[in-house]
Amino acid sequence: MNWQSVIASSAIMGLGFVLVPGSAISQGKSLKEQLVGTWEGVSIVLTRSDGTKIHPFGEKLNGSLIFTADGHSVVLLTRSDLPKIAANNRLGVTPDEAQAAYRGSYGYFGPYTVNEAEKSFTTKVLGSTYPNEVGANTKRVVTSISADELKFTNAAGAGGGSVEATFRHAK
């Protein structure tokens, strides 16, 4: 599957990880098998070093996380309250509109691997809305997974803190 197909599939699907012992669904499936599919964003919470918590994508997260069985992933997150572009043309944005759109959205794609022992997944970022991330490996640790819900952490979140992400399996 090429990246154009993955991105097209994600659009069609509606844009729409340490396993907790005794998790509701283990059913003998590996973590990688449980990850495969489309997950819809529920929340992203950033905890800063001073303990304050913020929702960088707002209280209502729009987003999808897609894992393919052949090892590719796509993430696209946006705030639900992004303002419309007055010119109705993405190339005609004002500096303020561009800043709001950039701060309110985030996406990346690349191949991923799963470390079953660590209950983590790592994406080799091939492309990102944050250019400094291209070429990096982004590791996420699964804190829980079931047939319906996926939770993971990122110890090195944007804004100088740790991120806790929650997604639900797309129906």
Neighbour count for residue 87 (Cβ, 10 Å): 11
- H or E segment and range at residue 9: helix 3-12
Which of 85, 54, 89, 75 shows the shortest CA–CA distance to 159? Answer: 54
> Tokens 């070429």 correspond to what residue?
135
Helix, strand or coil for residue 28? Answer: coil
Q: Is the pLDDT of residue 152 over 90?
A: yes
Query: What CATH number should be reported for the domain holding residue 126?
Result: 2.40.128.280
* Interval 110-145: pLDDT, tens: 999 999 999 999 999 999 999 999 999 999 999 999
Q: Which domain holds residue 39?
A: 3-169
* Interval 50-99: pLDDT, tens: 999 999 999 889 999 999 999 999 999 999 998 899 999 989 999 999 99
Q: How many independent structural domains does the chain possess? A: 1
What are the φ/ψ torsions at residue 57 (nearest 5 degrees)? -110, 20
pTM: 0.80
